[in-house]
A and B are shown apart, each in its own frame.
Chain A
Amino acid sequence: MATDADDRTLRQAKWAPYLLAVPALGFIYLFFLVPLVTLIKISLSETGQRGSSRVDFTWEWSNFSKAFTDFGEHLVRALGYAGITTIVCILLAYPLAYFIAFKVGRWRNLLLGLVMVPFFTSFLLRTIAWQSLFADNGPLLGVAETLHLIGVLDALQITTDGKILNTPTAVIGGLVYNFLPFALLPIYVSLERIPTNLFDAASDLYSPFANTFRRVIFPMSLPGVFAGTLLTFIPASGDFINQHLLGDVNKPVIGGVIQARFLQAGDYPTAAAISLVLMLIITVMVLIYSRLLGTEDIV
């Protein structure tokens, strides 16, 4: 990928770019970087006397060990949900992106617009709609029952005792639904950039389609898959809405724990430590993943 430095279309100017960039940079500095520093500081603090909301900075590393020992289970659960969600999202989004990019001709923009429509509906209500759809007497289980599939679904652990609502399946179903457009758009963009005459070239040279896909199309769409994975995995691992509305209330995920520690328990240091652990784990996973996929220069 071309870096900014060797892009010939860019202009040289003395002050203009800096003047244009300063307002946004100032804003990002004040409300993104400074808060991260305060978060780190509070994660190493100690809560003051009971009842006071003061915290004192004391290099209190025990907050971090507490984050792992007391909330490791919630962390693993959230990452597990996010991992499965990401895989399912990519598997569903890729064919659809391919379909829109190559098979629908002039209907492209309309279909892309349709994919975006869920974005414009309250995502809480979309999730609540899944409550109705997953309900014990809801349509999905009704269909499964008519087809006598409940036993099979139970065996596959898709349903638990013939139920979907309040199980991991419901949470993952909701998450996949929420993040599918985020997985789809970048894959679409990378597929759409592939010149179609490459397909013709491959087929002129008697390459079977499977071969063309494996050797030409798929490698060229990897940056999109990479971006789609990140845009799905990162928000999904912090999400607790789907767990709250569709999952088992007794099995919270890490995002819900962080929110409750901050807003209800008032235990700021531990909550800050858990947030940083989550961010650190995500960063490490992203770095490993980008190394594996060989797309370090994606940004």
Chain B
Amino acid sequence: MTGRPRLGTVALWIVSIAVFVYLFIPLITIAVFTFNEPTTKFNTTWEGFTFDNWLHPFSESSFTDALIESIKVATVACVLATILGSLIAMALGRYRMRGSAAINLLIVLALTTPEIVMGASLFTLFFNFGADRGFGTVVLAHTLFCLSFVALTVKARTRGMDWSLEDAAMDLGSPPMRTFWKVTFPGILPGVAGAFLLSIALSIDDYIITSFVAGPTVTFPRRVFDSARIALPPQVHVLATMVMLVAIAIIVAASLGRKERRA
């Protein structure tokens, strides 16, 4: 790696740092505005410093309830999506099967369909069959868009696996179920866990599809969107910051765990 122009490297550093700053400016803005004491209905202009919002983070109960609803939806939908998605990923990533190209295409298609089209089509489905929209339909919709995501992520993981370990276990007399739990499952677990966490993030943040299928069910993004141009208390920023902190903690813990195993 010699003979690289130094000017280019410097430029690369500057651009990269600038992009990182760009990525984090809004996050810092959100965190800063949790300490704001707005005099208007909006928490978008800085007025004064206070700890009040952090002392009473759940005082805006409609937003708290919406966040709890979102967590419920995400939990059910992502467990379902992870099970269905991992199973189909095993089928595609491990076995020679008829129609695997068509199945791959279908999964990619489901992933790349614009949210607005997916939301619209689910709306027409539930409308056509006269289904009541609510918690159940939201869970179905979230399972759908997380499913294809999980399938592709886990499939990528199975491709990197050394399946001969399974043969070795079987040759040494391990029964199939034991082989699965002791060899196969630990092998795909990091992929499955990563896919699960990312689909939680997708689900908890979805507005567009949810708005089509939610009926009376109010998720956190829906609550925020509906009030964004009417009134937005600073507690919303506190709740979002809490979610962000939990996420950062999980990311840090996961990367530390990975390092330890390698060492």
Residues in chain A within 8 A of chain B (CB atoms): 3-5, 7, 9-13, 16-18, 20-21, 23-25, 27-28, 31-36, 38-39, 41-42, 53, 92-93, 95-96, 98-100, 103, 109-110, 113-126, 128-133, 135, 137, 177, 180-181, 196, 199-200, 203, 208-209, 230-231, 234-235, 237-241, 244-245, 255, 258-259, 262-263, 268, 271-272, 275-276, 278-279, 282, 286, 299
Among residues of B, the one whose C-beta sits closest to the C-beta of A131 is: B44
Smallest CB separation, B260 vs chain A (Å): 13
**A17-B91, A110-B255, A238-B116 given as contacts; is B207 within 8 A of A32 (CB)?**
no
A5→B98 CA distance, assembly (Å): 9
Q: Is B236 an interface residue (CB 8 A)?
A: yes
Given contacts A21-B91, A117-B27, A258-B116, are A124 and B224 in contact (CB under 8 A)? yes
* A99-B12, A131-B44, A299-B108 as given contacts; A275 in contact with B30, CB under 8 Å: no
* Contact of A121 with B3 in the complex, beta carbons under 8 Å: no
Bound together, the chains give a CA A177 to CA B19 distance in angstroms of: 10
A98 to chain B, nearest CB (A): 7
Q: How far is the CA of A128 from the CA of B33 in the complex (A)?
A: 11
B71 interface hit (Cβ, 8 Å): no
Partner of A121, one of B4, B30, B104: B30
Query: With a CB–CB cut-off of 8 A, which chain A residues contact B46?
Result: 132
Bound CA span A95–B15, Å: 7
A232 to B123, CA, bound (A): 24
* Residues of chain A lying within 8 A (CB to CB) of residue B198: 119
Q: State whether B151 touches A203 (Cβ < 8 A).
A: no
- Bound-complex Cα distance A35 to B126 (A): 9
Given contacts A27-B84, A119-B201, A259-B212, contact A126 B13 (CB under 8 A): no
Chain B nearest CB from A13 CB (Å) reads 5
Additional pairs, 8, CB under 8 Å, beyond known A96-B15, A129-B26, A235-B115: A17-B92, A20-B88, A95-B16, A103-B9, A103-B12, A119-B205, A122-B205, A126-B26
How many angstroms between the C-alpha atoms of A32 and B104 in the bound complex? 14
CA distance A38 to B30 in the complex (A): 41
- B25 CB contact (under 8 Å) in A17, A133, A245: A133
Q: A199-B1, A268-B127 are known contacts. Are A12 and B95 too (CB-CB below 8 A)? A: yes
Q: Using Cβ atoms and an 8 Å threshold, which residues of chain B touch A93?
A: 19
Q: Which residue of A lies closest to B212 (CB)?
A: A262
B8 touches A209 (CB 8 A): yes
Q: Assess whether B85 is interfacial by the CB under 8 Å rule.
A: yes
Complex Cα spacing A32 to B23, Å: 33
A-binding segment of B53-61, B181-189, B237-245: B237-245
- Sample of 7 A–B contacts (CB below 8 Å): A17-B90, A21-B91, A21-B97, A28-B147, A41-B128, A129-B29, A299-B108
Task: Please judge, given known A-B contacts A119-B201, A209-B4, whether A128 and B211 are in contact too, CB under 8 Å.
Answer: no
Q: Nearest-CB distance from A293 to chain B (Å)?
A: 16
Residues of A within 8 A of B20 (CB): 96, 114
Complex-state Cα separation, A110 to B225, whole angstroms:
32
Q: Are the CB atoms of B8 and A259 closer together than 8 Å?
A: no
Q: Once bound together, how far apart are the Cα atoms of A292 and B114, in whole Å?
A: 22
| B243–A122 CB distance below 8 A | yes
CA distance A238 to B211 in the complex (A): 14
CB distance A20 to B121 under 8 Å? Answer: no
